[in-house]
Amino acid sequence: MTIMRQSWIRRGGIAGAVLLLVVLIASLALHLYGRVRFARAEAGFEAEVGSLDFAHVESPQLPDEENAATWLVAGAAAIVLSNDDRQLIHDAVNTAHAEWDREQEETLRALVERNRGGLETLHQAASCEQSDYGIVLPDGRVSVRVPDLLRLLAAAKLLHVEARLAFADEDIARGLVVTQTLSRLSTSLTGEHTVIAPLVGNAVETWLDGVVAEVVGSAAAWAAKPTLLAELEAMLPRDDPLATTRRFLIEAAWVESSVVRLGWRLGDGDEPRSGIYRYLFGNLAGAEILEAVRRQVELVGVPYGSAPERFDPGPSPLQSHKRHAHVVTPFSKAVAKFQSTASQRQLIRAAIALRRMGIARGSYPRERPSIAELDEPDAFTGRLMVYGPRDDGSLWLEFEGAAELDRSLRERPIMPVFAVVLPPPFTGESQ
C-alpha cells in the first residue's frame, strides 16, 4: 500500500469520525432543544388550560349485567351488514322518513328484522346507568385498547332507523326503548377518556337528535302527549357541551403528544414510532401538538359561525401533529362539531318546551316567550334562534345559517337538525 493511499484512508477515517461526531452533537442538540421546547409547551398548557396528568382516571369495575358498554359492544358485534346495507342505512339516516320510498322502507324493515338479535342485545343497555368500555390508558409501554368504534357507529345508524320505524308504526314503547339505547350509546362514548370515543359519541348524538326532532315535529295525535315529550326530553344528554369539548381537547393533547414522545400505540395493529424518531423529533412533535391544542381551547367558547377563519389551524413548522401523530380529525373541526351538536340540542330542547307550552295553552305564543333556549345565542352560529309563529297555528324554529356551516365541516354530509316545524297543538286527546 502506497504512502499516498494510506494518507487518503487516514484522511477518510478522520473525516468519517468528524462527520459522525457532528451528527451526534447535532442529534444531541436537537434532542435537548426538543426537551426544552416540550417542557415550556407543557408548562404553558397546564397553566392556561389544565393538567395533563390523567393517572386519576380509573375504571369503575362494573358487573357485566350493569355495564351498558358490555351490551353495546356485544350487540354491535352481532349486527351483520353488507356494504350495500350500510349505504342504504346511511342514506336513510340522512333523509326524512316522509321521503323514504316504499321499496327503501321495506328493505330497511327487513334489515332491522334480520339483525333483531343484535338490536335486542343493544337494547339491554337502555336500563344501565353506567358504562365502562375497558379502555386501557398506557404507561408508555402498552397500547390504548378501544372497542370497535366502526361497529358501534354502524349499530347507532341501525338503531336510528329502528327508532324511526317504531314511531312511524305508532309503537311508542319500542320507539322509546330504542331512543333510550341511542342516548346511552352517545353518553357512554362521550364520557370516555380517549381521543376517538368522544367524537363518535358526538356523532351518535346527532342521530339521536334526528329521532327526537321527528317525533316532536309530528302532527300525529300520539306525538302531542306531554308525558311522551317529557320522556324524550329526559333522553337528551345533559352534560355541559363546552366543558365536554374542553375535556376532549385536554385528553386529546395528552394522548397525541404521548403517541409521538413515548411510543404509545392506539390499537393492537398500530406500530409505535421508532426510538430514533422519538429521540430526535418526539419532543418537538409533542410540543407542536400542545401548542396547537392550546390555540383550539381558546376557541371553545367562540361560535364557529362568528369567525370561521380563526378555526383554521394554519401551517405548522414540522407538521408533526398531522404527519406523525394519530389525530383523528383536525382539532379545530372537532371544536366546531361539538358546537354544532350543542346547537342542535338547544333547538330540540326549545322545541319540546314550546310544544308542551302550546299543548297547555292551546296555541303557541304570538310573541317570543322568555325561555333559556330562546334567550341565549347558540354555541355554533352565535345567533338567537328564529321564532316564527305561522297563521295556520304552527311554529317555525331555526338557527339560520347553521346547516350551511355544518356542511362546510364534513367530508361526508349528514342531516343535522337546525330547524323544526311544530304543528298546531292538540288540545283534546293530548291532554
So where are the chain's domains?
Answer: 59-236
If residue 23 lies in a helix (H) or strand (E), which one and from where to where? helix 3-48
> What is the distance between the alpha carbons of residues 155 and 74, in angstroms, rounded to a whole number?
11
Give the mean pLDDT of the chain: 84
Which positions of the chain have pLDDT values less than 70?
1-12, 53-60, 135-146, 194-195, 263-274, 313-332, 411-414, 427-431
C-alpha span between 149 and 136 (Å, rounded)? 15
Contacts of 205 (CB under 8 A, 6+ apart): 186, 190, 237, 341, 344, 345
| pLDDT, position 264 | 55
Distance separating alpha carbons of residues 7 and 1, to the nearest angstrom? 10
- The tens digit of pLDDT for each residue in 277-318 reads 777 778 888 888 888 888 888 889 999 999 888 887 655 544
* Of 272, 239, 270, 276, the residue nearest 258 (C-alpha): 272
399 close to 418: Cβ distance less than 8 angstroms:
yes
Distance, C-alpha 41 to centroid of its chain: 26
Per the CB < 8 A criterion, the answer to whether 93 and 160 are in contact is yes
User: pLDDT at position 323, please?
Assistant: 44
Q: How far apart are CA 280 and CA 293, in angstroms?
A: 22
Measured distance CA(265)–CA(217) in Å, rounded = 45
Read off the pLDDT of residues 313-352 as tens digits, 9 standing for 90 and up.
655 544 444 444 444 346 668 889 999 999 999 999 999 9
Distance CA 182, CA 204 (A): 7
pTM of the model: 0.85
Q: What is the pLDDT of residues 389-430, one digit of tens each?
A: 999 999 999 999 998 988 888 766 667 789 999 999 975 444
